[in-house]
Structure 1
């Protein structure tokens, strides 16, 4: 029986490797490792090779294999071995999100907590950031750990020199984890752009930055297009779009086409003036279908009255705020059941 198996294997190997008969003339020429897959009928033969740096090795530090991580890498296999990962977990860092980021797993596994991370954490904590906030920052921008501590201190000192308060600085970094990855020169140019473009005072620059720090580092081409949309396509004056910026800065990061469609519905269909929209820019950020549903419901009830000088006035801001239940009871003054019944007819 054994001779039969050996002959069968020899014949299979001859066909597989296309070698002459004398090349595999004895069982001693067979590969050293033969594995039988229990879920299939055929025998798979694996030729034993010399050890490779790609082979897993339990005796080596995980940092040594970090450069060879596969796209399907999972941190879970290394948590028990890596002090770095364990400390990051204590900080609240979301490893599941990190492992999905390009180049991050091997970067993180190449760090040592004591020498590469600890001082960064202390710096952020000394600023006034909570452990939870630091965990979020490192989850969103792990490459902040690449930044030199001296550079980070300079960037923080820059904000202090521009009279940003400690509370403002904490808010800026917490809401925009990528802020400290920009050089002071880049930040200075970006702040200068907003100050010059919108004729902002120093206090207004600080207010805007603390209110929406992501806007300052946002794609400037997109922001310029937003300015064009509000000023040229919608027709707002310089003063009006400055007011919109300070009250609702997030609008300048919104999709231009969606923003324009919402404006056209507000201005052309609902007959809301530009002045009114500029005074309550939250209406521009409302999803169009939600705005349409609520406006058409008010039309059905014959309650469309947006003139503050006339009885029964309804503020456009109230239409876009609150839940459906709040809108139905407080604005339309009907039951939520009636509003839901109306929605089913659309």
Structure 2
């Protein structure tokens, strides 16, 4: 009896489940249809009544609509359309080099040729050739951002300080960043060297023309090198002045590199400080090159750096010239022999 009641209950339960399932399906289906109708009506509110299918042919011209382009830092896409870029290319400006700086790219792309034409004429009047103007702009594109009147004032300042036209041209060629320094900054830098090294007017101009980059270098960096030369290498102020006039570049070289070269000159090559003062360029030589060239001369019995003795070898010859020049002119040997020697080090 119990089994019959259980089977009857189970049968009724299954029937109820199937019924509820069917009802739920009908409800869901009805809800979806209602939602679709509502969605279609809401879409109709936002779409114009004359909207055509994307598959239908168009009657109007849409050729003026271009593909969306993301912001770019490459000039290639603009060269054919930009008069400014075309003129810069004619000047020899290396656009690929400028592309390395995003801000410079954005600045150049925003220029009209009329904005920079007078700047180019100004540089040309300073004595710079076309390719030299191109080099200047490549190295310092923001020069074109400077107010033209300010540039003229900076040149007038140099003329007032008795720099000749040839001197000014040489300075601007050698240091593309000179003209973007204010007159006050240049004056302070020149004043620092004049006062610290007790230079006269001609000596100040000599330093500025010989190494224009020195004048636009931060004074703090120069003070560090003065300290290294004075306190760690032992040169006195008179010797520092002599080295400044002969090779001002040493005052902007890396201190660690100079110290390594100085230590090798003193410890291994037995070069006295007096010789370094006479040929301060030797401090700009990498220690690796000093070791290679001095060791090769030592092997050949030609490492003689005393100018009072026969077969004198100038210290500057260890710095300058190609390996070929060094081997033939200084070592009196061959490049092949030098290369073979280097492999043995």
Interval containing the TM-score (normalised by the shorter chain): 0.7 to 0.9
Using a 3 Å threshold, how does the CA distance of structure 1 residues 78 and 311 change in structure 2: closer, same or farther?
A: closer
Asked if 1:84 corresponds to 2:84, the answer is: yes
Between structure 1 and structure 2, the one with the greater Rg is: 2
1:89-238 alignment to 2 at 5 Å? 89-114=89-114, 116-238=115-237
Aligned partner of residue 344 in structure 2, secondary structure: coil
Alignment check: 8 A CA contact 1:121 1:134 kept: yes
Which position in structure 2 is the counterpart of 1:273?
Answer: 272
How far is the alpha carbon of 1:22 from its aligned partner? 6.9
Alignment check: 8 A CA contact 2:98 2:104 kept: yes
CA distance in 2, matches of 1:185, 1:73: 35
Aligned partner of residue 221 in structure 1, secondary structure: helix
How far is the alpha carbon of 1:24 from its aligned partner? 8.1
How far is the alpha carbon of 1:203 from its aligned partner? 0.5
Which position in structure 2 is the counterpart of 1:307?
Answer: 306
How far is the alpha carbon of 1:58 from its aligned partner? 6.5
Asked if 1:286 corresponds to 2:285, the answer is: yes
CA distance in 2, matches of 1:341, 1:97: 38
Using a 3 Å threshold, how does the CA distance of structure 1 residues 308 and 89 change in structure 2: closer, same or farther?
A: closer
Q: Deviations along 1:157-197, whole A, 9 cap, x unmatched?
A: 00100000001111111111111111111111111011111
For the aligned residues, what is the CA RMSD? 2.7
Alignment check: 8 A CA contact 2:136 2:176 kept: yes
CA distance in 2, matches of 1:235, 1:148: 46
CA distance in 2, matches of 1:144, 1:106: 14
Using a 3 Å threshold, how does the CA distance of structure 1 residues 131 and 233 change in structure 2: closer, same or farther?
A: same
Using a 3 Å threshold, how does the CA distance of structure 1 residues 147 and 327 change in structure 2: closer, same or farther?
A: closer
Aligned length: 294
Instruction: Write out the 4+ residue segments of structure 1 that deviate beyond 6 Å after TM superposition.
Output: 26-29, 57-60
Alignment check: 8 A CA contact 2:233 2:262 kept: yes
In the superposition, the TM-score normalised over structure 1's length comes to 0.78
Q: Deviations along 1:117-153, whole A, 9 cap, x unmatched?
A: 0111111111111111111111111112221111111
Q: Deviations along 1:239-264, whole A, 9 cap, x unmatched?
A: 21212112211121111001100001
Alignment check: 8 A CA contact 1:69 1:106 kept: no
* Higher mean displacement: 162-171 or 137-146: 137-146
Using a 3 Å threshold, how does the CA distance of structure 1 residues 315 and 122 change in structure 2: closer, same or farther?
A: closer
How far is the alpha carbon of 1:266 from its aligned partner? 0.4
Alignment check: 8 A CA contact 2:123 2:133 kept: yes
Structure 1 alignment gaps of length 5 or more: 1-19, 32-56
CA distance in 2, matches of 1:307, 1:23: 105
